[in-house]
Amino acid sequence: MSVKNCEKIEKSQVALTIEVGAAEFEAAVEKAYKKMRKNISVPGFRPGKAPRKMIEKMYGAEVFYEEAINNAFPEAYEAAIQEKELRVVGYPQVEMIGDCSAEGFTFKAIVPVYPEVTLGEYKGLAVEKEEVKVMAADVNARLKQMAERNARLESVERAAKEGDTAVIDFEGFLNGEAFEGGKGENHSLELGSHSFVPGFEEQVIGMKAGEEKDLDITFPEDYHAELAGKAVVFKVKVNEVKAKEIPAIDDEFAKDVSEFDTLKELKADLKKKITEERQQAADRAFQDAVMEKVAENITVEIPDAMIETQCKQFLDNFKMQISQQGIPYEQYLQLTGMSEEQLMADAKEPAERQVRMDLAMLAIIEAEKLEATDEEVEAELQKMAEQYNMELETVKKYLPAEQVKEQIVSQKAIAVAVDSAIALKPEKKAEAETEAE
């Protein structure tokens, strides 16, 4: 293998022209022959026993070339990458140059590589930081949420209304034929949650337990292709109607849901917790805003492959989240009318922001020559062991020290920008609410 040309092109890509010589190609052809001979029929020879020269004479010398190219390409490509010390971040685009012969072949590979990053300003950046206040309405809203969570669903004999939960069997039909993903049994549907296709829940309102009904539904035009704009019929049976019974918010409620004896004590505790939550959120938002500003200030050409990889990571995380909620991914697509292509397209902009932030952080690490000591790694592992109530050796077994080292260095890089940043007060807003006591 020899690299005939190596040049940088747009979007952090490198164009490699790679030649595979006669000796290397001959070895690849011999390998192809040994793999393919058992499937090639030659009169007078048992399958797999025909000599290579005989096969080439019958079918032409090129009979093994395609397989040989497939054999030779990966090794030649990897050798070229190592020779030129390229940090590859995606798969290459490959095209043949000229014809393949016994003397070998030449191909061109467009390779996305780790981009060169030029840092702009990253210290002393001025960014708004939210001031944390907790109003009486905030505490009351949290109390209401707690009451909602502790509400009981009681079976009722009346017709279903908004806010109730209807336990239903349903099946969807398009032109009289049941369609995939349109069936469910004993499904608990909160009316007014808008979790089903538009028009469905509205028609269940007013139905009673034991009642059956055909719902005429027209899917939105932006639904996925198969059902977009189509008129369908859902056959629905209501098995049960359940209404929420929300407890009164008083001292007895406080005793039931907390370690406190009075509602006043519970409110004070909630104010403290909400304040801590909001302060943490404000700190995270400030950190993100600082790093976004650092990312905006860098000069870089990001290869498409890095953004696509981040999009896929976002999508994988999303699939995991909805799976943990008990929603099969395919059913989610069916019910929302989304497609994987749309999800990937929606992820592109946030993916590019994330990649820029990651590149900015790594550039700070390099500029500041940041490192993590063995003592810092050990302390972090010990902290994790205590946090998750695990033995230190168990944590070390499942969490490589190198990964912890990367986390520590990343945190140091973020701290360089955040600790030097100037926190600006956000513009004043009219406050009509009373601060919680």
Q: What are the tens digits of pLDDT across the range 393-411?
A: 999 999 999 999 999 999 9
Condensed to tens digits (0 to 9), the pLDDT of residues 33-43 reads 999 998 898 88
Residue 128 has pLDDT above 60, yes or no: yes
User: What integer pLDDT is reported at residue 437 of this predicted model?
Assistant: 55
In sequence order, the 6+-apart residues with CB closer than 8 A to the CB of 231 are: 216, 217, 218
* 278 falls within a domain: yes
Mean of pLDDT values over 18-40: 95
Greatest alpha-carbon span in the chain: 99
* 429 falls within a domain: no
344, 315 Cβ separation under 8 angstroms? yes
For residue 211, the SS3 value is coil
The answer to whether residues 215 and 264 belong to one domain is no
The residue with greater pLDDT, 165 or 228, is: 165
Mean of pLDDT values over 191-205: 93
Length of the chain: 437
Domain boundary among 56, 87, 112: 112
The answer to whether residues 32 and 98 belong to one domain is yes
Residue 400's DSSP bridge partners are none
* 346 falls within a domain: yes
Rg of the chain, C-alpha, whole Å: 32
Among residues 113, 115, 104, the alpha carbon closest in space to that of 81 is found at 113
CA atoms within 13 A on the CB side of 118: 3
The answer to whether residues 283 and 195 belong to one domain is no
Boundaries of domain holding 338: 259-424
* 251 falls within a domain: no
* 129 falls within a domain: no
104, 24 Cβ separation under 8 angstroms? yes
Among residues 294, 279, 273, the alpha carbon closest in space to that of 419 is found at 294
Residue in this structure with the two tokens 């994988």, named with its chain if needed: 316
Confidence of residue 430 (pLDDT cuts 50, 70, 90): very low
Mean of pLDDT values over 177-191: 92
Condensed to tens digits (0 to 9), the pLDDT of residues 51-65 reads 999 999 999 989 999
The answer to whether residues 98 and 157 belong to one domain is no
User: What integer pLDDT is reported at residue 83 of this predicted model?
Assistant: 96
The answer to whether residues 187 and 290 belong to one domain is no
The answer to whether residues 232 and 185 belong to one domain is yes
pTM, two decimals, is 0.66
The answer to whether residues 395 and 317 belong to one domain is yes
Mean of pLDDT values over 340-354: 94
What is the DSSP track for 288-313?
HHHHHHHHHH-B----HHHHHHHHHH
Domain boundary among 217, 245, 273: 245
* 214 falls within a domain: yes
Among residues 95, 100, 41, 39, the alpha carbon closest in space to that of 69 is found at 100
Residue 30 has pLDDT above 70, yes or no: yes
In sequence order, the 6+-apart residues with CB closer than 8 A to the CB of 144 are: 249
306, 355 Cβ separation under 8 angstroms? yes
Q: Quote the crossing angle between the two packed helices 304-324 and 329-336, to the nearest 10°.
A: 100
Structure tokens at 179: 């369609």
* 436 falls within a domain: no
State the CATH number of the domain containing residue 237. Answer: 3.10.50.40
The answer to whether residues 203 and 279 belong to one domain is no
Residue in this structure with the two tokens 């040049």, named with its chain if needed: 7
Condensed to tens digits (0 to 9), the pLDDT of residues 302-345 reads 999 999 999 999 999 999 999 898 888 988 888 788 899 999 99
Domain boundary among 86, 112, 138: 112
3-state helix, strand, coil in the chain (%, to 5): 50, 20, 30
Residue 137 has pLDDT above 80, yes or no: yes
Q: What total number of domains does the chain contain?
A: 3
Q: By percentage, how much of the chain surpasses pLDDT 70?
A: 97
The answer to whether residues 325 and 391 belong to one domain is yes
The answer to whether residues 270 and 225 belong to one domain is no
Angstrom distance (rounded) from CA 118 to CA 123: 15
State the CATH number of the domain containing residue 317. Answer: 1.10.3120.10
Residue 44 has pLDDT above 70, yes or no: yes
The answer to whether residues 102 and 232 belong to one domain is no
Q: By percentage, how much of the chain surpasses pLDDT 90?
A: 85
Report how far apart, in Å, the C-alpha atoms of 290 and of each of 91, 232, 348, 362 are.
33, 50, 21, 15
* 139 falls within a domain: no
State the CATH number of the domain containing residue 102. Answer: 3.30.70.1050
**Number of other residues whose CB lies within 10 A of the CB of residue 98:** 8
Classify residue 337 as left (phi > 0), alpha (psi -120 to 50) or beta: left
| Beta strands at 422-424 and 126-128: parallel, antiparallel or unpaired | parallel
Residue 246 has pLDDT above 80, yes or no: yes
The answer to whether residues 171 and 235 belong to one domain is yes
The residue with greater pLDDT, 435 or 305, is: 305
